[in-house]
Structure 1
């Protein structure tokens, strides 16, 4: 499962969010260009609340991390982060990540359901 979080204006609807995400992903993540460092709100969202609650996969000795890649911040570029999660913990982790993103004024999109999360 994955969850997408980005900084910017909230799309008008789910279809617009899917298109907007695809554009951001192509520009910042799936590119041959040099990596663009994550913007401050994205870096803060990952570092403080999420990695304080669950360890980064690279530091997870007890198999308690919901993240399926590491380091987690490596999935960020510019205004976007793409959260890959293990299925066994995806429901809890995605709900918490969406809550954190919303509290920080960030957008959150579930590509499996193709819906904005609130």
Structure 2
């Protein structure tokens, strides 16, 4: 999901993106982007958009978050305004085999590329819900 805020452009307001979301999960790599979108939607429905009690993060997802936090601090610990995360604690966005987390739009290119590299190195899937595409 992309969140927007108003941005003054001349004498009118225009929507400006505020955050960029990324999904990372455990499991076999989907065959293509369409399969990845279905897999993401299924995981989202089962673990995020549910009234069931939250499932603790899977071990590899927790390890993934720990590696991300080695590079950039938690939002709540960011005295220098260098963190790309839009939520804290970051692990709070993880449920079971899935983490679906937002990052600041201004840092999304760098942070999402790094997150995608880390996910790949850990054998996790990385999916861009905005573009509905697997990240390499």
Same fold (TM over 0.5): yes
The equivalent residue for 2:57 is 38
The equivalent residue for 1:54 is 72
Superposition misfits of 4+ residues, deviation over 2 angstroms: none
Superposed, 1:61-72 pairs within 5 Å as: 61-72=79-90
More strand by share: 2
**Which range moves more in the overlay, 91-100 or 53-62?**
53-62
2:123 aligned with 1:105:
yes
Partner secondary structure for residue 24 of structure 2:
strand
More helix by share: 1
The structure number with the bigger radius of gyration is 2
Q: Deviations over 1:79-103 (max 9, x none)?
A: 0001201000000000000000000
CA RMSD of the aligned region, Å? 0.7
Structure 2 unmatched ranges of 5 or more: 1-19
TM-score, L = length of structure 2: 0.84
TM-score, L = length of structure 1: 0.96
Count of residue pairs the alignment pairs up: 117
Give 1:112 deviation, angstroms: 1.2
> Relative contact order (alpha carbons < 8 A, sep ≥ 6): 1 or 2 greater?
1
Partner secondary structure for residue 92 of structure 1:
helix
Structure 1 unmatched ranges of 5 or more: none
